[in-house]
Structure 1
Amino acid sequence: MSNIALMWKPRLIGTAPAAPTVPEGVRIYAIGDIHGRADLLEQTFVRIDADLLRHPIANPIQVFLGDYIDRGPKSSDVLTQLINRGKAHRTVCLKGNHELYLLEFLRNPAILRAWGQYGGLTTLLSYGLRPSLNPDEEEEGELSAGLQRALPKSHHQFLSSLPLSYACGDFFFVHAGIRPGASLSRQRDDDLLWIRDEFLSHEELFEKIIVHGHTPVMEPDVRSNRIDIDTGAYATGRLTCLRLERDQIDFI
């Protein structure tokens, strides 16, 4: 576990500045973009379980920031792991833009032309389908129908019920980020799933510290108003887990 000293801008509580916190008795484990790396996810579960064994707490919550599928080789396995994890632990699984593509492909096969550029073909492979490198319109329809048959009901229910955000204490968890100038309660779905430049370049405080993924970084990017924990797991082999407890932040 590595401890990170943060230079938080003061947040006034009453008359005294205070660091952002999560409620007493709560510990958050936030996990960045997985992208089909079932092996790294399993290793992260082992680290979390070991941490909980060493340091029990009343209310541990595991928050996953979306983009579970595509690019890496085991998208189907990742969804199964997350579903099973939620049966024995309190988990919050957020929707990423890649999950949006899969659901849209079931309705609109032509979306594969775009989805394929973002690693969608590896997801189809993980469900036992065999797409060509450049599917034509007929093959797109066949693949969509094939995925509909191959997708377990539990996976479809999981993907269809993913929330877009989660708030705890002074932290707001989301896949991509938020639109500066709009309150957290009035954010657009597209921004929560896709935003980059306007959010990343914003240096002023938001209502809460935004914990997000979506934009890969070599190391977790910890700033006074946001924390990016997408460390490009599918390519780098590094899946980041952020640990928040009281006013302490570290990574395991």
Structure 2
Amino acid sequence: METGGGVHYLDAAAPAGMRLYAIGDVHGRFDCLSRMHGMIADEIARDRPADWRIIHLGDYVDRGPQSREVLDVLMEATARDPRIIALLGNHDEGFLDFLADPHDKGDLFINYGGADTAASYDVTLNAHNRRAITDSHAALVAAVPDSHVAFLRDLPRSASFGDFFFCHAGVRPGTALAAQNPHDLIWIRREFHIHPGLFDKIVVHGHTPHHEPEVMANRVNVDTMAFETGRLTALVVDGDQKRFIEAAA
């Protein structure tokens, strides 16, 4: 359960000496992600914070044109520096589900942007009938590197620093942050969005697209529909100071 009072956005702070960057849904926009990484690297080189974390909030694949390239750069970055973190999104899980069982678990991938992901691996996703899905699945399984599958399978669903809790979709009110259902962390919407009370920490999430960052007393949404708008957004927290940066294609 949330403890009495909770944390308000205006009061929330990062750990002392640590700057936080939380990046919204990428959805195959390698161009925006590369620009965002460059902007953050420039800020860190300029300001030299004592410590920092870069947290990607999930949904790296589908809808945009370069899912494969996004996964390549995230694999390299997270392996190179443990301060760079990637969390799982529902579309990332949907990609894994399709690769595992395209007929019983492939609906999200087939119906919501998976054709763009497949194309980034030079595979045409044909969902006209069961045989076409089977053939497309076989081609994609052959094209997707094992390293991409392993990377996605190992992604955590949440992270927490200071007064902030990071996940893809949100949390279920009334359940302790440490005890959240894994499904809720990448799928929940309504119950989380309409909850008026404060949580033990500010929940920073994506999953639900908005044209601008959404700031509430108890949560921050940084999904600005990069796949459509060409604008990838990140929340930056330094002490109790918060701001947003945008990487535009």
TM-score normalised to structure 2 length: 0.91
The residue aligned with 1:4 is: none
Q: What secondary structure, in the 3-state scheme, does the structure 1 residue paired with 2:20 have?
A: strand
Does residue 83 in structure 1 map to residue 90 in structure 2? no
AA aligned to 1:170 is: D
Give how far 1:112 is off: 3.4
Change (3 A) 1:113 1:199: closer
Q: Distance in 2 between matches of 1:26 and 1:227?
A: 19
Aligned residues: 237
Deviations 1:111-144 (A, max 9, x none): 3344221101111111111123x33211212222
Q: 2:32 aligns with which of 35, 40, 56?
A: 40
Q: Distance in 1 between matches of 2:190 and 2:102?
A: 30
The residue aligned with 1:194 is: 187
Q: Distance in 1 between matches of 2:216 and 2:154?
A: 31
The residue aligned with 1:69 is: 61
The residue aligned with 1:6 is: none
AA aligned to 2:110 is: G
Where does structure 2 lack aligned partners over 5 or more consecutive residues? Answer: none
Deviations 1:34-58 (A, max 9, x none): 0000000011011101111110122
The residue aligned with 2:13 is: 21
The residue aligned with 1:140 is: 133
CA contact (8 A) 2:62 2:117 kept: yes
The residue aligned with 1:155 is: 148
Range with greater deviation from structure 2 (83-92 or 34-43): 83-92
Where does structure 1 lack aligned partners over 5 or more consecutive residues? Answer: 1-9, 13-17
TM-score normalised to structure 1 length: 0.90
Q: 1:31 aligns with which of 19, 23, 29?
A: 23
Q: What secondary structure, in the 3-state scheme, does the structure 2 residue paired with 1:240 have?
A: strand
AA aligned to 1:227 is: V
Counterpart mapping for 1:55-134 below 5 A: 55-89=47-81, 90-110=83-103, 111-132=105-126, 134=127
Deviations 1:143-172 (A, max 9, x none): 222222211122111101010100111100
Q: What secondary structure, in the 3-state scheme, does the structure 1 residue paired with 2:116 have?
A: helix
Does residue 203 in structure 1 map to residue 196 in structure 2? yes
Q: Distance in 2 between matches of 1:105 and 1:72?
A: 18
CA contact (8 A) 1:112 1:140 kept: no
Range with greater deviation from structure 2 (197-206 or 109-118): 109-118
